[in-house]
Amino acid sequence: MFAKILIANRGEIACRVIRTARRVGVRTVAVYSDADAGALHVGMADEAVHIGPSPVGESYLRGDKIVAAALATGAEAIHPGYGFLSENPDFVDQVTAAGLVFIGPSAASIRAMGLKDAAKRLMEKAGVPVVPGYHGEAQEIVLLASKAREIGYPVLIKARAGGGGKGMRRVEHPDDFSEALSGARREAKAAFGDDRVLVEKYVEKPRHIEVQVFGDIFGNVVHLYERDCSAQRRHQKVIEEAPAPGMTPALRKAMTEAAVKAAKAIDYSDAGTIEFIVDASQGLKADRFWFMEMNTRLQVEHPVTEMVTGTDLVEWQLRVASGEKLPKTQSEITLSGHAFEARIYAEDAAKGFLPATGTLHHLKFPDTAPEGASMRIETGVRTGDAISPFYDPMIAKLVVHGKNRQAALEALGIALSQTEIAGSTVNTAFLAALAADADFSAGDVDTGLIGRHQQALTAVPPPSSEIVAAAALAASGAGAQAPTRDPWSSLAGYAHFHAMARRTRLRYGEDDILALVSMRPDGRFQVALDAPYDSALDLRAAPRLARWPGHVTVFSGAVGYSFAVPDPLARADEIAAGADSLRAPMPGLVKLVRAAKGETVIKGQPLLILEAMKMEHTISATHDGTIAEIATEGAQVTDGTVLVRFAEEAHG
């Protein structure tokens, strides 16, 4: 076993590797950028090395700096985590050339599976079923469009490099092919530096089922059963589970055998995942699954496999990379119970899952697992940490295990309802709604489920009068939950003729709320609300709330209702651009401008494309009008920057 390793990553995966390394007696070295100087993984590691500015291209993607840090600290090996350099064969060559061990597969294995088109040709030769499509080298638009017609619409355009839904477009009609191809190429180029694509048949009711495989340098390869990752939004996974619901013995046998065959075809060593697309339109059948790609690294969702197989895949990685055989044979790996993983993100589900930023002023996970279940919280952040625009906005992975799927699903819902996050927009309410969705609960899930139910899953009911009253009570400084007591509150219970009262203002979305908080002799508070609530409620204190600068968040189940608390001494700035302008919903790069100053546009017309988190977001006109100003291509903008301003006569 190694004495010391360096972790070439950040966030929750770096923390995850550190925990296992510490348990098995391996010292760890963290690396960090400017933005991560105070990050959790830096504090957890035995040593830490600064490797550059916040942008990933100047820090976490600098293989030379990472190798130098490993050599300078005496690390014997480098664990890449996932993302960043984890599937970069050139980085593997850098590591091994420096006399270090790469805790992962060989550069040759990564290259064999690194490009989707070449990988699929290799799998066809190995006898692994491959989805019908065009996986060739030629990239002329006329040829690709012709191949799409041959395959038959709908088709899926996919970047040949990378993953995570980037560079992917579903095309329903030949007339839409050219524009979809251009968008996929731009996104693929930005994310992977390679704009080449492949075209495949779109499976009408697809399920994304993947098999965890593990190999060693002695030629042994085993599988650790399957995971279902069909619950996706924008081609990115949201909730994963193991085993796959409805899995039949025949399909499991065929799929796991194909996965092991795929890994052996490239002499694979280390943790890897073989991803399959399954046609579930007629149930799960052994002849209706096809190879999609192989992820030559540890997956984000690996904890669900660990939960149902009783393994620690990071420990396996350390042992195999240090020259040991696989810790278990295939017959020793068994399934037990069911596990779910929910990815908690800083994102606005109601606005198309736009990434969000902010400071985590309040962060609280369940103290104990729901009854009859076990639970893991995988996170790389703490209360007070900021969600940076430079990196993936994941806050945590909530992982639960139960004796069966129903028990695990109930535990997931309970754990989500007990999670409290304030300071950034988060997706916990959406995750809870998905866990409670009738189709998802029944295991009738495919990759289109979230899209079909998106409006219902992302809708958040308005706050009740009780929630508003609780926020007003907290904002007033009264009640047991208030962090400070104002001088006036010491007079609670004393008045000559009536209970003392204090006027409080709140803002929720576009609504201004006026509340009158009265303090009674018996310790209760009466909160009288103005329209549209028009009610008076008696309260003692809100049991679940958080106060943070200028705000109060009240938690109800998995929903956090955040209210702004205006400063009564500050002059409110009521001058806003309103409908006269369109603002950036997040920090990003103006990738493409499709309109010009002075041009007359119509409602719904695409005006520009904003690239953020390596994904493209189209900004469209909200009404008919004439453009007075528009951002320039290549401009880097912050959240709230005016992108488009309309002439005053545009509406009225």
Q: Among 160, 297, 319, 505, which one carries the catalytic annotation?
A: 297
Whether 60 contacts 91, CB under 8 Å: no
> Hey, what amino acid is at 582?
L
Whether 112 contacts 43, CB under 8 Å: no
Identify the helix (H) or strand (E) that includes residue 272: strand 270-279
Q: What is the DSSP string of 213-244?
A: EEE-TTS-EEEEEEEEEEEEETTEEEEEEES-
Distance CA 152, CA 173 (A): 10
Distance CA 118, CA 478 (A): 65
Nearest to 423 by CA among 240, 325, 574, 552: 552
Nearest to 153 by CA among 170, 167, 134, 168: 170
Task: Let me know the angle formed at the C-alpha of 476 by 470 and 479, rounded to the nearest 5 degrees.
Answer: 60
- Burial environment of residue 360 by CB neighbours within 10 A (0 to 12, 13 to 18, 19 or more): buried
- β-sheet bridge partners, residue 620: 606
Q: What Cα–Cα distance (Å) separates residue 624 from each residue in 78, 418, 428, 627, 645?
A: 56, 45, 36, 10, 12
Distance CA 599, CA 582 (A): 15
Distance CA 190, CA 578 (A): 32
Whether 441 contacts 405, CB under 8 Å: no
Nearest to 488 by CA among 479, 477, 498: 477
For residue 161, give the DSSP letter.
B
Angle at which helices 116-126 and 107-114 pack, to 10 degrees? Answer: 100
Q: Is 10 left (phi over 0), alpha (psi -120 to 50) or beta?
A: beta
Confirm whether 16 is a catalytic residue.
no
Both structure tokens of 133: 């499509």
For residue 572, give the DSSP letter.
P
For residues 567-588, b (16+ Cβ closer than 10 Å) or e, as one string?
Answer: eeeeeeeeeeeeebbbbbbbbb
Could you count the other beta carbons within 10 Å of the beta carbon of residue 506? 22
Dihedral sign (CA 402, 406, 407, 409): positive
Distance CA 574, CA 581 (A): 15
Write out 67-85 in H/E/C secondary structure: HHHHHHHCCCEEECCCCCC
Could you count the other beta carbons within 10 Å of the beta carbon of residue 333? 18
For residues 189-226, b (16+ Cβ closer than 10 Å) or e, as one string?
Answer: ebbbebbbbbbbbbbeebbbbbbbbbbbeeeebbbbbb
Catalytic residues: 297
